[in-house]
Amino acid sequence: MNTTTIQQISDSWKRTSENVASIAVKARRSPDDITIVAVSKQKPAEYIRAGIDAGIRHFGENKIQEAIEKLPQFKNDKIIRHCIGHVQSNKVRFLPELFDLIQTLDAMKTAHKIDSIFRENNAVAEVLVQVNISYDSAKYGLDPAIASDFIGELLTLSNIKCRGFMTIGPNTDSRDEIRKAFKKMFALSENIYQQFRGKLSTPELSMGMSNDYDIAIQEGATFLRMGQAIFGERG
């Protein structure tokens, strides 16, 4: 990996962090309440190393197999590893070793599997529930209408700690539509938090990617998942 690429990652990270902070302040939010998850998918492990050296602490991967190949070498680095891709139940056994936060839980069958695998590992899985807020047939995620029941059931599983919600903005050029979806997600999250008062901690909200993170900040995101803005375009 050449020094130009390393420098580019460092520069992009600095620029992205500054943008996020300035958009947050304009939206009357504290930049400290917003965490950028650097999505390193489809990029070699050297990019993660360069990111760590540049000061990045949160990384996201979307494929279990890729994570198995890349993440173990960072075992001794103080990074937080986010699973941002769909998890099939036959891959759940890899999760305890690989990830610190699973952002993509959207099925009770998988929840039970996660609960039992983490119990075997004497661990508690931290998860976000992925919601398909814009009812996009091409996307994973829970039907918003059943999110509340889902959380109720999730709370009965002792080796899962639900920390909030994740959603992917609609795939559209319309910034209004994206904003509408993020507003809906924020409202749903607030509703569920009120409904389960005392049982859920203040919900994290993972929404916003390289092309819509500004809207996500304005609408209450606490995690942004950003790949291309930091690591450059993907092949």
Ligand X SMILES: *Cc1c(COP(=O)(O)O)cnc(C)c1O
Q: Which residues lie near ligand X (CB under 6 A)?
A: 39, 41, 62, 84, 168, 209-211, 225-229
- Are the beta carbons of 17 and 36 closer than 8 angstroms? yes
Amino acid at 197: R
Closest distance between ligand X and the C-beta of residue 156, in Å?
Answer: 27
CA–CA gap between residue 98 and residue 116 (Å, rounded): 16
Q: Which two tokens stand for residue 84?
A: 């941002």
Confirm if 10 and 30 have CB atoms less than 8 A apart.
Answer: no
**Closest CB to ligand X among residues 148, 228:** 228
Pick between residue 14 and residue 199 the one whose CB is nearest to ligand X.
14
Comparison of 159 and 211: residue with beta carbon closer to ligand X: 211
Provide the minimum distance between the beta carbon of 167 and ligand X in the complex, in angstroms, as a whole number.
Answer: 9
Separation CA 117–CA 113 (nearest Å): 6
Residue number of the CB atom closest to ligand X = 227
Closest approach, Cβ 207 to ligand X, in A, equals 9
CB of 178 to ligand X, least distance (A): 13
Cβ-based nearer residue to ligand X, 84 or 128 = 84
| Those residues with Cβ within 8 angstroms of residue 133's Cβ, 6 or more apart along the chain or in another chain | 141, 144, 167, 181, 184, 185, 188
